[in-house]
Amino acid sequence: MGDDGYTLAESLAAMMVLSLAMGALWAGVGAFSSLQGRVAQTLEGPRRERQAHSALNGLGALLDHGGGAEARALTGEPQRMQFDCGRPRPCGAEIVPLHDHDDLRLSDGDARRTMALPKGVRHEFRYWGDQEEGNWPPAKPSLSRLRAISLREAGSGQVAPAVIVKLWRDEPVDCVYDSVKQGCRL
């Protein structure tokens, strides 16, 4: 026999070194994959909030166009709101709790769509007139007008809302304000 090959012990030692290197590499890939999943989940929450903000702004525009919440007879609760938008079905939004997140279901009177809200928290609508309210119209009647609708974490009195939709206060959306006349131009 010549010296052309490796002995059994040398072959086993080489395979053991390779397997240890592959094991370390596989552990590194697993750690990177776990980190990537956590980063993606962290970035998903703000993306979902932006989508909800855009969708609720669209509903706010429908509410504004035509005289605001009073003219549109908006009724709102912590989990749903609805108003007459002059279309076949009422316009509105509803928060639907699911296993690990909430869904936001929107209706613009013609079509409906659903979007997921950030995971790990429950959400609610809040209504802003002269003060924050859980329901609209408020239980104590006042001269207050609905000025904004917010979407926030349920039961979080101290936490800032995730989404705020401001409504037109005094003039309709298509108003061209005349500072001399102190009103809308026709």
Which two three-digit tokens encode residue 118? 């950030």
- What letter would DSSP give residue 147? -
Rounded distance between C-alpha atoms, residue 183 and residue 186, angstroms = 9
Q: Sorting pLDDT into bands at 50, 70 and 90, what band is 79? A: very high
Q: Is residue 39 part of a domain?
A: no
Q: Is residue 110 part of a domain?
A: yes
Q: Is residue 38 part of a domain?
A: no
Q: Is residue 23 part of a domain?
A: no
For 125-164, what is each residue's pLDDT tens digit?
A: 988 877 777 888 877 766 567 888 888 888 766 567 788 8
User: How many other C-beta atoms are found inside a 10 Å radius of the C-beta of residue 26?
Assistant: 10
Which of the pair, 92 or 185, is modelled with greater confidence?
A: 92
What Rg do the C-alpha atoms of the chain give, in angstroms?
Answer: 28
Name the nearest CA neighbour of 116 among 47, 65, 162. 47
Q: Which residues pair with 95 in a beta bridge?
A: 104
How many structural domains is the chain composed of?
A: 1
Q: Is residue 87 part of a domain?
A: yes
Q: Is residue 13 part of a domain?
A: no
Q: Is residue 73 part of a domain?
A: yes
Q: Is residue 10 part of a domain?
A: no
**pTM, to two decimals:** 0.65
Residue 56 lies in domain: 45-185
Residue 71 has pLDDT above 60, yes or no: no
